[in-house]
């Protein structure tokens, strides 16, 4: 496989296009996930505007891409035919330059890529290297190392909770203090045995079950409320985050953890403002409702 071209810059952003020729497949281009914004590291694949076999003219919208900021059109700047879609609509968190499509110059070559897979595209994108037998032997010998390195992990977790100091996140400490929980009784599942919020919540959820298990032999009927409490724990809806929300969360976390903060407080007497607010809201007769922020 011979790589013959790299990196072209379309109007909508940066996209990596590689052209290949091999004995198995005709000449073709592997189109990568474009970088449509300066801060984009991955994207979601939206609706494809072209189907397999369609002709593509320079400037045609190939597919919609959801970046870290917005939904954008990916305008392809080459001429050819769409031979294969490697990243179908709905593909999430695809890194930049990951293969998304195959483009050929001749429409007759489209049928040759009917069985072309994403693994084949990745193998072509990587430079083929034939490792020597001498290099393969140390690699095989090095495989048992992860199991050997994994053995000290329990001891590291035990060391994190040993001694007078207990490692816990600030939120976990606050929740434990509010609920009167001794952190020494909680098993941490965070890095190096650190106690996190989920550990506190799991300990609180397990406490009623342990308390109900003790009188079970004397009163078997007490198990009925336990089954009724199960649906309450599942009363939530998991909504997938958009790329924009993920970026906002990442930036806020970075700002909080990497930038020094200090806080200022001020006491303000709001008695007269509250009286005036109540008086104005009463006189409005429901036409409007003033809040403290309006003052």
> Do 2 and 21 contact (CB within 8 A), yes or no?
yes
pLDDT of residue 269: 92
Give the H or E element holding residue 62.
strand 60-66
Binned at pLDDT 50, 70 and 90, residue 125 comes out as low
pLDDT of residue 42: 86
Q: With 70 as the cut, is the pLDDT of residue 131 above it?
A: no
pLDDT in tens, 12-71: 456 666 666 565 788 888 999 998 888 888 889 999 999 999 999 999 999 999 887 788
Binned at pLDDT 50, 70 and 90, residue 186 comes out as confident
β-bridge pairing 80-85 and 71-76: unpaired
Question: Measuring CA to CA, which residue among 37, 15, 8 is closest to residue 97?
Answer: 15
Residue 265 to residue 192: CA distance in whole angstroms: 36
Mean pLDDT of the chain: 75
First to last CA, the chain: 71
- The pLDDT > 70 percentage for the chain reads 67
Residue 176 to residue 127: CA distance in whole angstroms: 53
């Amino acid at each position: 496989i011979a790589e013959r071209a790299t990196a072209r810059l379309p109007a909508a952003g940066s996209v990596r296009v590689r052209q290949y020729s091999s004995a198995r497949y005709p000449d073709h281009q592997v189109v990568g996930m474009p970088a449509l914004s300066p801060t984009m590291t991955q994207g979601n694949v939206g609706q494809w505007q072209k189907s397999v076999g369609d002709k593509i003219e320079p400037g045609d919208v190939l597919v919609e891409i959801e970046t870290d900021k917005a939904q954008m059109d990916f305008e392809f700047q080459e001429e050819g035919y769409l031979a294969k879609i490697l990243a179908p609509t709905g593909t999430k968190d695809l890194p930049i330059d990951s293969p998304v499509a195959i483009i050929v110059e001749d429409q007759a070559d489209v049928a040759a890529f009917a069985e072309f897979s994403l693994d084949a595209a990745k193998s072509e994108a990587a430079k083929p290297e034939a490792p020597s037998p001498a290099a393969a032997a140390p690699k095989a010998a090095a495989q048992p190392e992860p199991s050997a390195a994994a053995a000290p992990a329990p001891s590291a977790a035990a060391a994190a909770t040993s001694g007078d100091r207990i490692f816990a996140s600030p939120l976990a400490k606050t929740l434990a203090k509010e609920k009167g929980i001794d952190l020494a009784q909680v098993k941490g599942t965070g890095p190096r045995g650190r106690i996190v919020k989920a550990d506190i919540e799991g300990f609180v959820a397990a406490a009623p079950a342990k308390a109900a298990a003790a009188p079970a032999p004397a009163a078997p009927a007490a198990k009925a409320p336990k089954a009724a409490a199960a649906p309450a724990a599942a009363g939530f809806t998991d909504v997938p985050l958009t790329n924009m929300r993920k970026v906002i969360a990442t930036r806020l976390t970075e700002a909080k953890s990497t930038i020094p903060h200090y806080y200022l407080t001020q006491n303000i007497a709001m008695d007269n403002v509250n009286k005036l607010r109540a008086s104005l809201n009463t006189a409005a007769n429901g036409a409007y409702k003033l809040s403290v922020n309006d003052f």
